Structure 1
Amino acid sequence: MACTSANVVKCHCQKKWSSVTMPAMAKIQFCFTFILFIAINCASVNVDNISSDVKFKNVDRTIDLSSQLVKISQKITLENSGKSPVKSFLVAVEASSKNNLAYIGAKDSSGKDLRVSETTVKGHDSAKFWRVDLKDALNAGSTVVVTSETVFTKALQPYPTAITQQEDQLVKYTGNLYVYSPYQVTSQKTNVVVVTKGIESFSKVKPFSQQDGAIQYGPYPNVAPFTEKELSVHYKNNSPFLTVTRIERLIEVSHWGNIAIEELIEVEHTGAKLKGPFSRYDYQQDLHSGPASVRSYKTLLPASASDVYYRDTNGNISTSNMKVKKDSVELDLRPRYPLFGGWKTHYTLGYNVPSYEYLYHSGNEYLLKMRVIDHIFDDMQVDELTTKIILPEGSVGIKLNVPYPVTRLADSLHYTYLDTKGRPVITFKKSNVVENHIQDFQLRYTFPRLLMFQEPLLVVGFLYALFLLVIIYVRLDFSIHKAEHQHKD
C-alpha cells in the first residue's frame, strides 16, 4: 500500500476491535476518520517515475519575447523506444523559472487539449513536473507529436532599471538554452522571437544565427536529461509593461433577467522607472516622447454588455471610447494621465448582461456559467484576482466548479434592500493570472421559485399596512372634548 501511516492506524484499530465496548465507539470513529483523512491526502499527491522508454526524438521550441510575457511553445516528437504502450509523459520546469510560471498546457497534433496534472518525481524536489495524458496509448516503436505551451510572468527584467522620458526601454531575459526535459532529447532547435532589431547582446552558442528580430539556436544533438545552460538576451522592448496588481470582480445574479458585473482594478506600470522630471508639454507635442509609457489600452467586454460605466475616485472618465462589435464590446480606456514606470492608477468598470445568456435552470435547479475573468488588455498579467458571486436570497446547495486550482474563501452574506436573511456570496482567489485563464466557471445551486415573489409581496404588504394605518388615523378622533353643537334660536 502507498500510505504506511494509514496502514499502521488501521492495524491498530483492528487489534482493539475485539475488546470494544459502547463507550469506546468514539475512539473507533476517530480511528476510521483518521484513516480516511490519510487516504484522501495520499490520493491527492501524485508521484510519477521517469520512464527510460520515453524519448524526445525532436523538439522545436519557440521563445516569444515580444511582449511583457514570456511565451514558450514546444513541438515535441515523442518516441516510445520500449516494449509496452505509453499512456503519458512528463514535462518539467527548472527551479529558476518555476516561480514565474503562470500557465501550462498541452495539445495533440489535431489541436485538441490534453489533460495536464501537476505531479512530483522523487529525487527532483527543486523542479516542477506535470503529467500529460495522451488521448491514445503510444505503442512500442511509435511516435506522436504533442505541443506544450508555457507562459511566464515577470521573467523580463528592465535593464537599466530607470530611464528618462525620451529613452527606449531595454529589458533582459535569462533562461535555459536547452529544453529542460526529464528524457533524452535526440535533436532540438530554439527560435527566440524579439520582433525588434534593437538587440544589444545575446548568448552566442554555436550553431546560431540572427535574422530580423529573431535568433535561431541549434540543432543540438543528444542532449541529456535536465541539461541547463544560460541563455541571455538584452534587447529593446517598448511594449506596455502593465500589471494588474489587484482586481476584485463582483458578479450579482438576479432572477429577474439581469446580471450586474463590477470590477475594481488597480494597475501599475512595472517597466523601467521614470528617471528625472516629466514634461507634459513635450509629451503632447512629440508623439515619440515616452515610448515606453502607456497612453491607453483596450478592454473587451461581452457582446451583450450594456450600461457600461468607467470611473475613478474623481468621477466618470470621459476620455474613453466604446465600439460595439459582433462578438464583443471594445473599450478604449485612457487614464487621466499617462503611465510611466512605477506609476499607478485604479478605477471601477461596470456593466450589465442579460441573465438568459449565462443562467440556465431546470425546475428549482440553476446553473451559472460565466468567465472567471474578462480580457483587460493584451498580454495582461494579474497578480491577484478575487471573484465574488452574489446569488439571490434563499439559494442553497451551492457547488462551484472552476477549470483550474483556486483558493476558495469562506462564504458570506450580502444585504440589500428588502433582504431578510441576506444573499449568499461565494468568493475565490487566484494569483498569477494571464489570458489563458479566461475560462468559464460553473456554479450550481437550488432556488425555490416561489421565493421570487418574496420581495414583491413584501412591497405589497408594506404598502397595504401603510394605507391601513392612514385610514385608521383619519377615521379616529383623538380630541379630548366633544365638539359642542350650536342650536338655532
Structure 2
Amino acid sequence: MARLAAALLVLALASIGASAQLVIEDAQRQIDISGFVAHEQLQLGLRNDGPAAAASLLLCGPHLARAAYLEIKETSGKDASKLAWKEAAAPAGAPAGVTCREVTLSKPLAKKGTARLTAVAAYTHVLRPEPAEVRQRDAQHVLFESTAQLASPYKVAKQSTEIKVGGGVQSATDVSPYKSSGSKLSYGPYSDVEPWAAQQISVHYENNAPFAAAEVEREIEISHWGNVYVEERYHVRHVGAKLVGEWSRWDLTRDPKQFAQAGIPSFAAALPPQARSLYYRDAIGNISSSETRRSSEGVRVTLVPRYPLFGGWSSTFTFGYSLPLSSVVGKEPKTGRSVFAAPIGPALGDIVVDSLLVKVVLPEGASDPKVALGLPFQLEQSVAYTYLDVLGRPVAVLRLSNLVQEMKPETLQVSYTYSSMGLLQKPLLLVGVLGAIFAIAIVAGRGGLASLAASPSVRNVVAKPHAS
C-alpha cells in the first residue's frame, strides 16, 4: 500500500512538473458585463517547453467559483473538440480568491508542441450594486472587479483584455497600456507576464439590465392519452440596488423610462410552437396583463406582473401550458421504451435560476425510469397520486442550481417502460366500480322485495279475498 501511494505521488509530481513548463504564447480575453450575467471568452495559444508531454493544464481566475457555465474547446485541428475539466486546488503562490480548473487535453501535448484553446464562461452574482440603494428615478451603477492580466500559474508571453460595459463608466483602474472608447475598455497588450503577476482592476459603471434571480419549480406531467402538462412556479427577486424612498405608480405611468430605469416591468417567455392552453396566475387569481405572439418558430409570451419589480422586491406566480404528447415523447426503436425529451430550463429568459426543481411525473404503470442530462444534478425517486390512481405514478425529481441562459436548452431525457395496455387501466377501473355499484343496487333491490313479500301483512293482504 505504501509503495502504491509513493508511486502515485511520483506520478502526480511528474505531471505537475510537466505542466509547470507550459507557456502561454498569447492570451486574448473578452469580458462582457453589459447585463446581469458576466460573460468571458478566452483564447489561448499554448506551448510545451518541458522535457515531457503534458496531458493537462490549469485554468484559473477570480470568478471561476461563480461560473454557472464553462465550456473549453481545443481548436488546433480542423474540428473543435470539447475538453473535460474538473475542479482543482489552486497551486502555491496563487492570489487570494483565485480558483482553478484542471483541463484534460484531447491528447498529451508533446515537447515543443503547441495547441490552441478557447474557453467560454458565464459568471453569476459577480456584479455588485454601488451604491447599494437608489431612488425610483435613479439609474443603477455596479462595480466589477477582476484582473488586467490573466491570473495564471504559467508565464504569458503576450496578452490583452477587452471589457464591454453596458453604460457610462464612472471610473476604471488604469493599468497601462489602457484605453477607454465608448462602452469598451482595453487593457494591454502586455508582454512576458510572470506567473501570478496579474494586477487587480475595478470598473464602476451604469448598468440598468434586469437583475432578476429566481427559484423555480417545474412539474411535467406525462399523459399517454395525448398531452404533456407543464407548470412552472416562480419566485423572482430583483437583486440589484434596493429601492428606497417613496414609490409612485403615477410617475411610472407618466414616464417609465425615467422612473423605472432599474426596474423590471415584464418577463419574456419562449415556448415551442405546439404550446397551447396557456395560463398565468398568482395567489390572487388569473393575471390578464400578458401578450402572446405565435409564429412557426415558437410562441413568445410577455408576462406583465401586477407591479414592476425594483431592487429588493420579489414576485411569486405560476405559468403553465400543455404540449401534444407526440412532440416530446417518442419510442426507442430497439428497446421499445418511451422517451421524454425537452429542454431542462424554464420558459422565462433573462433570469438567473439560483435553484431549479424539476418533477417529471410519469403515467401510472410506467416503470424503470432512467434520466439523462448533460448537467450536474441530484436525482430522487418518488410516487405521486392523482385522480383514479391505485398504485401511484413514478416521479423523477431533479435538483439543479445556478443556471443561466446558455444551459437552459440542454436536453433532459427520461426513458421508461410503459405498455399501451396501461391506457385501459382507468376505463376498466371505472367500469368495474360502476358495475359493482349497479350489482349492489340490484342485489339490494331484490333483497328488499323478497323481505317485503315475506312479511305477514303482505301475505294476509294477498291471501284475503276481495269483497264483491
TM > 0.5: yes
Whether the 8 Å contact between 1:61 and 1:190 is mirrored in structure 2 is yes
Q: Residue 435 of structure 1: CA displacement?
A: 1.3
Aligned to 1:374: 346
Q: Residue 135 of structure 1: CA displacement?
A: 4.3
Structure 1 residues 275 and 443, CA gap change in structure 2 (3 angstroms): same
Whether the 8 Å contact between 2:342 and 2:412 is mirrored in structure 1 is yes
Structure 1 residues 236 and 356, CA gap change in structure 2 (3 angstroms): same
Aligned to 1:102: 68
Secondary structure in 2 matching 1:220: strand
CA–CA distance in 2 between the matches of 1:345 and 1:176? 36
**Where do residues 40-55 of structure 1 align in structure 2 (5 Å cutoff)?**
49=16, 51-55=19-23
Aligned to 1:461: 432
Task: Please tell me the residue identity of whatever aligns with 1:234.
Answer: H
Aligned to 1:193: 164
Which one of 259, 265, 280 corresponds to residue 234 of structure 2?
Answer: 265
Structure 1 residues 136 and 4, CA gap change in structure 2 (3 angstroms): closer
Structure 1 residues 84 and 3, CA gap change in structure 2 (3 angstroms): closer
Deviations 1:338-377 (A, max 9, x none): 1111111010011111222222224652222222213412
CA–CA distance in 2 between the matches of 1:325 and 1:140? 55
Whether the 8 Å contact between 2:81 and 2:106 is mirrored in structure 1 is no
Aligned to 2:393: 423
Aligned to 1:442: 413
Deviations 1:98-139 (A, max 9, x none): 442222111343674513321425745975333334445545
Whether the 8 Å contact between 1:295 and 1:339 is mirrored in structure 2 is yes
CA–CA distance in 2 between the matches of 1:130 and 1:472? 76
Given the two structures, how large is their TM-score scaled by the length of structure 2?
0.88
Asked if residue 360 in structure 1 is aligned to residue 338 in structure 2, the reply is no
Asked if residue 255 in structure 1 is aligned to residue 224 in structure 2, the reply is yes
Cα RMSD (Å): 2.6
Whether the 8 Å contact between 1:258 and 1:354 is mirrored in structure 2 is yes
Whether the 8 Å contact between 2:139 and 2:208 is mirrored in structure 1 is yes
Which one of 196, 203, 206 corresponds to residue 236 of structure 1?
Answer: 206
Which one of 148, 164, 181 corresponds to residue 119 of structure 2?
Answer: 148
Aligned to 1:215: 185
CA–CA distance in 1 between the matches of 2:241 and 2:89? 39
Task: Please tell me the residue identity of whatever aligns with 1:314.
Answer: I
Aligned to 1:17: none
Aligned to 2:135: 164
CA–CA distance in 2 between the matches of 1:357 and 1:117? 34
Whether the 8 Å contact between 1:72 and 1:151 is mirrored in structure 2 is yes
Whether the 8 Å contact between 1:114 and 1:133 is mirrored in structure 2 is no
Structure 1 residues 299 and 223, CA gap change in structure 2 (3 angstroms): same
Secondary structure in 2 matching 1:315: coil
Whether the 8 Å contact between 2:91 and 2:153 is mirrored in structure 1 is no
Task: Please tell me the residue identity of whatever aligns with 1:89.
Answer: L
Aligned to 2:146: 175
Of the structure 1 ranges 255-264 and 354-363, higher mean CA displacement relative to structure 2 is found in 354-363
Aligned to 2:283: 313
Whether the 8 Å contact between 2:178 and 2:188 is mirrored in structure 1 is yes
Q: Residue 279 of structure 1: CA displacement?
A: 1.0
Aligned to 2:266: 296
Whether the 8 Å contact between 1:399 and 1:444 is mirrored in structure 2 is yes
Deviations 1:362-406 (A, max 9, x none): 46522222222134122x211111111111223322222221211
Asked if residue 115 in structure 1 is aligned to residue 83 in structure 2, the reply is yes
CA–CA distance in 1 between the matches of 2:397 and 2:65? 25
Q: Residue 256 of structure 1: CA displacement?
A: 2.1
Whether the 8 Å contact between 1:59 and 1:75 is mirrored in structure 2 is yes
Aligned positions, number: 444
Secondary structure in 2 matching 1:349: strand
Whether the 8 Å contact between 1:116 and 1:130 is mirrored in structure 2 is no
Secondary structure in 1 matching 2:383: strand
Structure 2's unaligned 5+ residue stretches are none
Q: Residue 429 of structure 1: CA displacement?
A: 1.1
Q: Residue 53 of structure 1: CA displacement?
A: 4.0
Of the structure 1 ranges 300-309 and 120-129, higher mean CA displacement relative to structure 2 is found in 120-129
Secondary structure in 2 matching 1:392: coil
Secondary structure in 1 matching 2:260: coil
Deviations 1:277-313 (A, max 9, x none): 0011111111322211111121112222111111001
CA–CA distance in 1 between the matches of 2:80 and 2:438? 65
Aligned to 1:402: 373
Whether the 8 Å contact between 2:86 and 2:103 is mirrored in structure 1 is no
Of the structure 1 ranges 253-262 and 110-119, higher mean CA displacement relative to structure 2 is found in 110-119
CA–CA distance in 2 between the matches of 1:127 and 1:296? 37
Q: Residue 2 of structure 1: CA displacement?
A: 9.5
Q: Residue 144 of structure 1: CA displacement?
A: 3.1
Q: Residue 83 of structure 1: CA displacement?
A: 6.1
Secondary structure in 1 matching 2:458: coil
Structure 1 residues 122 and 2, CA gap change in structure 2 (3 angstroms): farther
Asked if residue 57 in structure 1 is aligned to residue 28 in structure 2, the reply is no
Task: Please tell me the residue identity of whatever aligns with 2:176.
Answer: K
CA–CA distance in 1 between the matches of 2:34 and 2:171? 16
Given the two structures, how large is their TM-score scaled by the length of structure 1?
0.84
Secondary structure in 1 matching 2:416: strand
CA–CA distance in 2 between the matches of 1:131 and 1:162? 39
Secondary structure in 1 matching 2:240: coil
Task: Please tell me the residue identity of whatever aligns with 1:104.
Answer: L
Asked if residue 412 in structure 1 is aligned to residue 378 in structure 2, the reply is no
Asked if residue 482 in structure 1 is aligned to residue 458 in structure 2, the reply is yes
CA–CA distance in 1 between the matches of 2:3 and 2:127? 42
Whether the 8 Å contact between 2:229 and 2:323 is mirrored in structure 1 is yes
Structure 1's unaligned 5+ residue stretches are 8-44
CA–CA distance in 1 between the matches of 2:147 and 2:299? 40
Whether the 8 Å contact between 1:185 and 1:223 is mirrored in structure 2 is yes
State the identity as a percent. 32
Whether the 8 Å contact between 1:247 and 1:385 is mirrored in structure 2 is yes
Of the structure 1 ranges 417-426 and 477-486, higher mean CA displacement relative to structure 2 is found in 477-486
